[in-house]
Amino acid sequence: MEPRSLVLLGLLLACALVFGAQTQKGPERGHDKVSTQEFDSSDAGLEREFLYTGRSKRAPAEIPQDKCSYTFIVPQQKVTGAICVNSKEPEASLESRVNKQELEQLNVELQKQKRQIETLQQLVEVDGGIVTEVKLLRKESRNMNSRVTQLYMQLLHEIIRKRDNALELAQMENKILNQTSEMQMLTSRYKDLEHKYLHLASLATNQSALISLLEEQCQSRPPLRQVPVPQPRPQPRPQPPPVSPPLHKPPVPPRINNQITNEIQSDQKSLSPLPTMPTGTQGNTTTNKPSGPFKDCLEALEDGQTNSGMYLVKPEGSNKLMQVWCDQRHDPGGWTVIQRRSDGSVNFFRNWETYKQGFGNIDSEYWLGLENIYWLTNQGNYKLLVTLEDWSGRKVFAEYASFRVENEADFYKLRIGRYHGNAGDSLTWHNGKQFTTLDRDHDTYTGNCAHYQKGGWWYNSCAHSNLNGVWYRGGHYRSRYQDGVYWAEFRGGAYSLKKVTMMVRPNPNTFH
């Protein structure tokens, strides 16, 4: 062994002997106090331990000082076993001692808490980042809300502008319709004036011919001879001058007058009556029976009016007269025409009031009027017949067992019954729908179907039939929308029909 180790071992033995002797003398002699302190406040725990052994306390004055005093330093060693203490020490001092195992457990708990604190710090950092992101998202959301509000205002201004444009367009279309109607009235007046002019021209021609004939007769007649008249005598009676026989019987002038009269009468017969004058009642002018008004065309047929033409009709419950076209030739007769399209002479792109009152020419294209149709179809059970003709001459029909319209308070809602025919059913889809025009939108579409279909109809969303649309010549037409006169089940929506007629007739055996 090394000398240093031997010296330390000797010192330890000597102290042990002295300590043992002192303990045998009794506790009143006092004892050395050994204090153990541990120092480590760092996060790594208690890594170093120092044991300091000091001098023993001084004994009381009455106790003799017979022990030795010493001071030594023990090298640092890591304690692995249990710490031995004097079992004779008081319990208070025993409780004050620090147990190494408990200290290690505390260190372990401190380490766990430290790790938990670090984890919480990380979570706090992550939560702080999330909070920052949430704040950024809220800021972006506010920016997006302001942007959406700005876009909404722009869209609102655009909608208002388009609505103003639509109103201006509607006003312009109304003006165009008014101008078109005025032009049509002027055209009809011009035709009437032209017809009258032709008649007057024919009369003037006949008068010129008559004057020429009279001049020829005057020239061909021999001149009168001048006979000298003798002086009057009182006795004899004066003799009359000789007169030629032709002067007493001029045969030509009476013949010429009769010929001119017949020509004038034939010209008057050749003149056709005006479209607004009813012609269907001329056949019974010689009878004593009244020629109307009738409640419908079937009553006129039963009254003996077998000629198709214009008649005066006064429905039951109504106090207004209306002119209608009665079709007495279509089997079995008695049909009242409520709509007709044949030549495109009438514009059907009209407003609500015009469709309510009716428009057009009775002997050509016309619409009877929603109010008139209401009074006509609500006085009994009526059926509807729709006749269609394309540009190749093919004719089809669609018949509905019942037909009527509601009053204006219900916007003239359509009510029809069961279909049969060979044209296809393109009207049942409109059953129960209200009437729509350019200025009164009652359809189920988001926009106004009358604006796209260019007419007035019982539009749904929008149409399977559009008999009041634009009359295009030739059938197939090109347009931005399907706005022709079409029946979808017959030739499709891109084909404008040539002739269309809607007419009603009483049907006592109505089945819905």
DSSP annotation string for 13-59: HHHHHHHHHHHHH-GGG-----EEEE---STT----EEEE--PPPPP
What pLDDT digit, counting tens, does each position of 171-230 carry?
888 888 888 888 888 888 888 888 888 888 888 888 878 887 887 778 776 654 444 444
Rounded to two decimals, what is the model's pTM? 0.47
pLDDT score recorded for residue 497: 96
Residues 380 and 388: their CA atoms lie apart, in Å, by 26
pLDDT score recorded for residue 324: 94
pLDDT score recorded for residue 2: 55
**Omega within 30 of 0 (cis) for the link into 15:** no
Mean pLDDT across the stretch 446-461? 94
pLDDT category at 273 given cuts 50, 70, 90 is very low
pLDDT score recorded for residue 255: 39
Residues 117 and 105: their CA atoms lie apart, in Å, by 18
- High-pLDDT (> 90) share of the chain, %: 39
pLDDT category at 291 given cuts 50, 70, 90 is low
pLDDT score recorded for residue 187: 84
pLDDT score recorded for residue 179: 86
pLDDT score recorded for residue 366: 95
pLDDT score recorded for residue 80: 62
What are the sequence ranges of the domains in the chain? 108-200, 297-506
pLDDT score recorded for residue 260: 35
H/E stretch holding 7 reads: helix 3-25
pLDDT category at 276 given cuts 50, 70, 90 is very low
Do residues 506 and 380 lie in contact, with contact meaning Cβ atoms separated by under 8 Å? yes
Lowest mean pLDDT segment, chosen from 82-96, 116-130, 206-220, 434-448: 82-96
pLDDT score recorded for residue 400: 96
Alpha helices in 382-473 (DSSP H): 449-453
Fold of 297-506: Gamma Fibrinogen; Chain A, domain 1 (3.90.215)
pLDDT category at 307 given cuts 50, 70, 90 is very high
Residues 220 and 265: their CA atoms lie apart, in Å, by 29
The sign of the CA dihedral 308, 314, 316, 318 is positive
Residues 98 and 408: their CA atoms lie apart, in Å, by 105
pLDDT score recorded for residue 216: 77
Mean pLDDT across the stretch 76-85? 56
Look at residues 393, 284, 275 and name the one whose alpha carbon lies nearest to residue 325. Answer: 275
| Averaged pLDDT score across all residues of the chain | 76
Task: Choose the most confident range, by mean pLDDT, from 42-51, 86-95, 323-332.
Answer: 323-332
Strands 414-416 and 403-405: antiparallel
Is residue 163 over pLDDT 60? yes
pLDDT score recorded for residue 67: 55
Mean pLDDT across the stretch 311-318? 90
**Vertex 379, ends 375 and 381: CA angle to 5°?**
120
pLDDT category at 442 given cuts 50, 70, 90 is very high
What pLDDT digit, counting tens, does each position of 98-135 carry?
578 888 888 898 999 999 998 888 888 887 778 888 88
For residues 384 and 193, which has the higher predicted lDDT (pLDDT)? 384
Is residue 331 over pLDDT 50? yes
Contacts of 349 (CB under 8 A, 6+ apart): 173, 177, 438, 454, 455, 470
Look at residues 444, 325, 341 and name the one whose alpha carbon lies nearest to residue 376. Answer: 325
Is residue 256 over pLDDT 60? no
- 500 DSSP assignment: E
Number of neighbouring beta carbons within 10 Å of residue 427: 25
